[in-house]
Amino acid sequence: MSKLMTGAEYRASLATRKPLRVYLNGKRVEDVINHPIIAPSINTLALTYDMAHDASQAELMTTTSTLTGKKINRFSHLHASPADLVKKVKMQRMLGGKCGTCFQRCVGMDAMNATFATTFDIDKKTGTTQYHERFRKFVEYVQENDLIVDGCMTDVKGDRSKSPSEQTDPDMYVRVVERRPDGIVIRGAKAHQTGAVNSHEHLLMPTCTMRAEDKDYAVCCSVPVDHPKIVYIYGRQSCDERKMDTSPAGQIDSGASCFGGQEALVIFDDVFIPNENVYMDGEFEFAGLLVERFAGYHRSSYCCKVGVGDVLIGAAQTAAEYNGAAKASHIKDKIVEMIHLNETIMGCGLAACGEGKQMPAGNYLIDVMLANICKQNVTRFPYELSRLLQDIAGGLMVTLPSAHDLYNPETADYLNKYLATVPGVTVENRMKLLRLIENLTLGRAAVGYLTESMHGAGSPQAQRIMIGRLADVKAKQKRAKDLAQIKG
6: contact with a copy of itself by CB under 8 A = no
Min. distance of Cβ 209 from a copy of itself in angstroms?
17
Q: How far is the CB of 300 from a copy of itself (least distance, A)?
A: 10
CB of 47 to a copy of itself, least distance (A): 12
Q: Does 56 bind a copy of itself (CB under 8 A)?
A: no
**105 alpha-carbon distance from chain centroid:** 7
Site for a copy of itself in 296-315 (CB under 8 A): 307, 310-315
Query: How far apart (Å, rounded) are the C-alpha atoms in residues 106 and 31?
Result: 25
Touching a copy of itself, residues 435-454 (CB under 8 A): 435-436, 438, 441-443, 446-447, 450-452, 454
* Secondary structure of residue 427 in the 3-state scheme: helix
* Buried b or exposed e, range 261-284, using 16+ CB within 10 angstroms: bbbbbbbbeebebeebbbbbbbbb
Q: Of 132, 298, 348, 353, which residue is the catalytic one?
A: 298
Which residues in 127-166 contact a copy of itself (CB under 8 A)?
154, 156-162
141 as an active site residue: the answer is no
State the sign of the Cα–Cα–Cα–Cα dihedral 280, 132, 286, 129. Answer: positive
CA angle 107, 121, 271 (to 5 degrees): 55
Per-residue binding string, a copy of itself, 66-105, x by CB under 8 A, is: --------------------x----------xxxx-----
- Choice between 134 and 298, CB closer to a copy of itself: 298
- Active site includes 68? no
**Residue closer to a copy of itself, measured from CB, 184 or 239:** 239
Residue 180: strand pairing partners: 183
378 is a site residue for a copy of itself (CB under 8 A): no
How far is 209 from 72, CA to CA, in rounded Å? Answer: 33
Chain-centre distance of CA 174, in angstroms?
A: 21
Residues 6+ apart with CB under 8 A from 149: 107, 108, 109, 111, 112, 142, 199, 200, 201, 202, 203, 222
Backbone CA torsion sign across 402, 405, 407, 413: negative
Fill in the amino acid letter for 57.
Answer: Q
3-class secondary-structure state, position 390: helix
Residue 30 binding a copy of itself, by CB under 8 A = no
| 303 in catalytic set | no
Among 109, 149, 278, 374, binds a copy of itself (CB under 8 A): 374
Residue 26 as a binder of a copy of itself (CB under 8 A): the answer is yes
| Candidates 63, 66, 119, 194; catalytic one | 194
Rounded to 5, what percent of the chain is helix, strand, coil? 55, 15, 30
d(CA 44, CA 442): 19
* 208 carries an active-site annotation: no
| Active-site entry in 201, 263, 292, 438 | 263
Amino acid letter at 55?
A
30 is an active site residue: no
Counting contacts by CB under 8 A, is residue 237 touching a copy of itself?
A: yes
* Out of 165, 231, 276, 285, the residue judged to bind a copy of itself by CB under 8 A: 231
- Quick one: 142 or 331, whose CB is closer to a copy of itself? 331
Q: Does 418 participate in catalysis according to the annotation?
A: no
| Alpha carbon of residue 139 to chain centroid | 19
Tell whether residue 427 is a contact of a copy of itself (CB under 8 A): no
Question: Which of the following is catalytic: 49, 131, 173, 302?
Answer: 302
> Contact between 57 and a copy of itself (CB under 8 A)?
no
| Residue 239 binds to a copy of itself (criterion: CB under 8 A) | yes
Helix (H, G, I), strand (E, B) or coil at 274: strand
> Between residues 224 and 314, which has the closer beta carbon with respect to a copy of itself?
314
Q: Any catalytic annotation for residue 348?
A: no
The reply on whether position 405 binds a copy of itself by CB under 8 A is yes
Least distance (Å) between residue 155 CB and a copy of itself: 9
Pick 26 or 360: Cβ nearer a copy of itself: 26
Cα distances (angstroms) measured from residue 335 to each of 307, 313, 343, 435, 472? 15, 7, 12, 19, 37
Question: Given candidates 169, 181, 182, 360, which one binds a copy of itself under the rule CB under 8 A?
Answer: 169
Give the residue, chosen from 42, 45, 221, 267, that forms a contact with a copy of itself under the rule CB under 8 A.
267
28 forms part of the interface with a copy of itself (CB under 8 A): yes
Tell which one of 69, 274, 324, 362 touches a copy of itself (CB under 8 A): 324
Enclosing H/E stretch for 115 = helix 106-126
Q: Is 421 a catalytic residue?
A: no
Angle at 116 between CA 218 and CA 223, to 5 degrees: 60
- How many residues touch a copy of itself under the rule CB under 8 A: the total is 159
List CB contacts of 24: < 8 A, sequence separation 6 or more.
Answer: 35, 37, 38, 233, 234
Residue from 335, 359, 361, 365 touching a copy of itself (CB under 8 A): that is 335
Output the DSSP codes for 139-173.
Answer: HHHHHHHT--EEEE--B--SSTTS-GGGSSSGGGS
> Among 283, 292, 438, 452, which one carries the catalytic annotation?
452
What is the distance between the alpha carbons of residues 64 and 49, in angstroms, rounded to a whole number? 16
- Does residue 111 touch a copy of itself according to CB under 8 A? no
Catalytic residues: 102, 106, 194, 263, 298, 302, 304, 452
